[in-house]
A and B are shown apart, each in its own frame.
Chain A
Amino acid sequence: EEQLLESGGGLVQPGGSLRLSCAASGLIFSSYAMTWVRQAPGKGLEWVSAISASGDRTYYTDSVKGRFTISRDNSRNTLYLQMNSLRAEDTAVYYCARNNGGYARGMDVWGQGTTVTVSS
């Protein structure tokens, strides 16, 4: 069964850092672009960042550019999101998802999400 499992969420103070991980199993991780999507409490989905299958190309929404870094380790079947200079508005459930093709394509496998809370 194809699965994604996020971890690393938690409570952090404004200005702090967190690193999210997304472990893949049952799928050929290195063949697919991957994406992070977040959902603030009671709000809709927001695309955050994506990375190519090889990891050589990365993409970000404007609000996280310069603060978040997406990366992957294909030898460990793991996707990461390093989040620095966190703000209250970054509070959300963060999902990792597999793109069924390039990052512009639909996301067909999703993790269960990990919660990030930015608060003092």
Chain B
Amino acid sequence: QSALTQPASVSGSPGQSITISCTGTSNDIGGYNYVSWYQQHPGKAPKLMVSDVSNRPSGVSNRFSGSKSGNTASLTISGLQAEDESYYYCSSYTSNITVLFGGGTKLTVL
């Protein structure tokens, strides 16, 4: 099963907003509201930023928001800060009763 499709990289200036897309199929993103987003700094464990498409865990900044339309999920980060520079991964439950990750997106804060 192929990974969900994410852009390899995105960038933005401090204070701006960026959106990272995650495209799948009706067998994963489009079929279930079990999309999550993770932030991973190099050499560190991933951190859950959004679960169930748009739920933010306690302690995660409200600058992070998630959404879904059809087979594509999105993570939006508003008011970009230098500390947001990291790798971001989406994941989704699938009809194969597995979980699939995206290939990852490197966010650069200019």
Using CB atoms and an 8 Å cutoff, list the residues of chain A in contact with chain B: 35, 37, 44-47, 50, 59-62, 95, 97, 100, 103-108, 110-113
B contacts with A, residue count (CB < 8 A): 26
CB-based contact B45/A113 at 8 Å: yes
Looking across the interface, which residue of chain B has its beta carbon closest to that of A100?
Answer: B51
B79 on the A face (CB < 8 A): no
Kindly provide the distance from the CB of B10 to the nearest chain A CB, expressed in whole angstroms: 15
Contacts of A44 in B (CB 8 A): 3, 89, 101-104
Kindly provide the distance from the CB of A38 to the nearest chain B CB, expressed in whole angstroms: 10
Contacts of B97 in A (CB 8 A): 59
Contacts of A113 in B (CB 8 A): 45
B1 on the A face (CB < 8 A): yes
CB-based contact A45/B32 at 8 Å: no
Contacts of A106 in B (CB 8 A): 36, 48, 50-52, 57, 91
Using CB atoms and an 8 Å cutoff, list the residues of chain B in contact with chain A: 1, 3, 32, 34, 36, 38, 40, 45-48, 50-52, 57, 89, 91, 93, 97-104
5 contacts between A and B (CB under 8 A): A44-B3, A45-B38, A95-B45, A103-B99, A108-B48
With the chains together, A113 CA to B44 CA distance in Å?
9
Contacts of B103 in A (CB 8 A): 44
CB-based contact B57/A47 at 8 Å: no
The 3 closest A-B pairs by CB, nearest first: A106-B51, A106-B36, A104-B93
A59 and B98 contact, Cβ closer than 8 Å, known pairs A44-B103, A104-B32 = yes
> Which among B32, B48, B51, B98 is the interface contact of A61 at CB below 8 angstroms?
B98
Contacts of B3 in A (CB 8 A): 44
With the chains together, A105 CA to B104 CA distance in Å?
19
Contacts of A107 in B (CB 8 A): 36, 38, 46, 48
With the chains together, A95 CA to B99 CA distance in Å?
15
CB-based contact B99/A47 at 8 Å: yes
